[in-house]
């Protein structure tokens, strides 16, 4: 009996995805529960596993877009796990394939440059011995073939020019060597659409400030050993900024809002999105009810989200419903930037790299670890005064972290 492998529903509004990789190939034996493929959608990646053991037969290729419910493979559960394959000696019933047959099959896969050369010279690619990978015909093979078989070119007047052109072609990279074209992944297409939509639908403005990280760094260093021993994880900077952001949002509620049509919606809860960079693109998992959580819970949530996002195991519900976003470009070395809103939110805080810079303190110039902060906001919902006030509140909380009532 054959068991169909179908694409499951992975979240609301998701109608299709891309088979990004087959972990098992067609003809291989798979065990029940073993990962067969990774499905990449515009929001998450999901591993699809085998329901039963058997021999896999794939129906679609890697990189192909598939619909929810589509059959992508079948598993023959009557097949048994294969033993060590025994080599079968050639005999009269199993003739050895001729080299011309190998050349013929490999000649069907030609680069654009080789196709152009064989067309101009009116050559049959099946008659050319390929020295490339898997017997593939290269430009050098075409030139060598012409030199050893000059009679195959039907237009004698064009021979000298064709030889010269072919020699020149060999030194010029083909299109496939100069660039790579591939279809954007669903996640990258979704990110692109979101960014364009944010720019086109919101009145985005950015205001800046800077904060002295001395007190936070000193407090973090002092508490690190005990915090790690008590909670089994390190105390980072993100939990401080989540706490400071909540204080800022409580002081300036308008930033914890969104606009829907002609309605202004003010949120009375604090679900803070934390942007995480992955190889597939940027995702923003949401820390729920951040105002009710202590530093250990915040650090645990952020670490867990980051690990699952990078492993492609983040869930769709983890990315939905945030009211405000924090993006830390500083981990990549960014000194200053203007983050783009995460629709339909009205604000996003950009953190940046910590740098030792000279600043004035009590009439003297001292060197302190400083960080630039950036708040991008939707000017339709937030006035400039409110945006500046919010950023000042965040700055004050970071420079005097005891007001955050640490539970260290």
Where in the sequence numbering do the catalytic residues fall?
379, 383
Q: Are 72 and 61 in contact (CB under 8 A)?
A: no
Q: What is the dihedral of CA 303, 304, 307, 310, to 10 degrees?
A: -110
Q: Are 339 and 357 in contact (CB under 8 A)?
A: no
Q: What is the gyration radius of the CA atoms in the chain, in angstroms?
A: 30
Question: Alpha-carbon distance 225 to 363, whole Å?
Answer: 36
End-to-end CA distance of the chain: 59
- CB environment 250-280: b (16+ within 10 A), e (fewer): ebbebbbbbbeeeeeeebeebbbbbbbbbeb
SS3 labels along 355-374: EEEEEEECCEEEEEEEEEEE
CB atoms within 10 A of CB 295: 22
Helix (H), strand (E) at residue 118: helix 112-121
């Amino acid at each position: 009996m054959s068991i169909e492998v179908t694409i499951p529903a992975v979240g609301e509004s998701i109608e299709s995805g891309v088979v990004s990789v087959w972990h098992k190939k067609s003809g291989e034996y798979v065990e029940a529960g073993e990962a067969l493929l990774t499905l990449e959608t515009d929001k998450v990646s999901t591993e699809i596993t085998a329901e039963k053991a058997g021999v896999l037969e794939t129906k679609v290729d890697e990189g192909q877009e598939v619909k929810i419910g589509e059959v992508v493979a079948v598993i023959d559960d009557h097949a048994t796990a294969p033993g060590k394959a025994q080599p079968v000696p050639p005999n009269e019933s199993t003739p050895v394939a001729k080299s011309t047959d190998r050349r013929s099959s490999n000649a069907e896969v030609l680069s654009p440059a080789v196709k152009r050369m064989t067309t101009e010279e009116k050559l049959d690619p099946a008659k050319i011995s390929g020295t490339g990978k898997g017997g593939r015909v290269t430009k050098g093979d075409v030139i060598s073939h012409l030199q050893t078989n000059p009679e195959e070119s039907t237009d004698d007047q064009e021979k000298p020019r064709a030889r010269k052109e072919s020699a020149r072609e060999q030194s010029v990279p083909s299109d496939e060597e100069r660039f790579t074209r591939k279809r954007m992944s669903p996640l990258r297409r979704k990110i692109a659409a979101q960014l364009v939509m944010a720019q086109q639908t919101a009145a985005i403005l950015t205001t800046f400030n800077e904060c002295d990280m001395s007190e936070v760094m000193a407090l973090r260093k002092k508490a690190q050993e005990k915090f790690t021993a008590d909670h089994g994880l390190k105390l980072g900077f993100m939990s401080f900024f989540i706490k400071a952001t909540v204080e800022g949002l409580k002081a300036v509620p308008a930033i914890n809002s969104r606009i829907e049509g002609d309605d202004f919606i003010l949120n009375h809860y604090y679900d803070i999105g934390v942007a995480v960079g992955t190889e597939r693109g940027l995702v923003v998992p949401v820390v729920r009810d951040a105002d009710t959580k202590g530093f250990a819970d915040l650090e645990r949530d952020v670490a867990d989200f980051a690990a699952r996002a990078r492993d492609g195991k983040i869930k769709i519900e983890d990315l939905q419903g945030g009211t405000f976003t924090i993006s830390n470009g500083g981990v990549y070395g960014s000194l200053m930037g203007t983050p783009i809103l995460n629709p339909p939110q009205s604000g996003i805080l950009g953190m940046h790299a910590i740098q030792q810079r000279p600043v004035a303190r009590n009439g003297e110039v001292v060197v302190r670890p400083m960080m630039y902060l950036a708040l991008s906001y939707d000017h339709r919902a937030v006035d400039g005064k409110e945006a500046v006030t919010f950023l000042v509140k965040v700055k004050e909380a970071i420079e005097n972290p005891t007001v955050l009532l640490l539970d260290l």
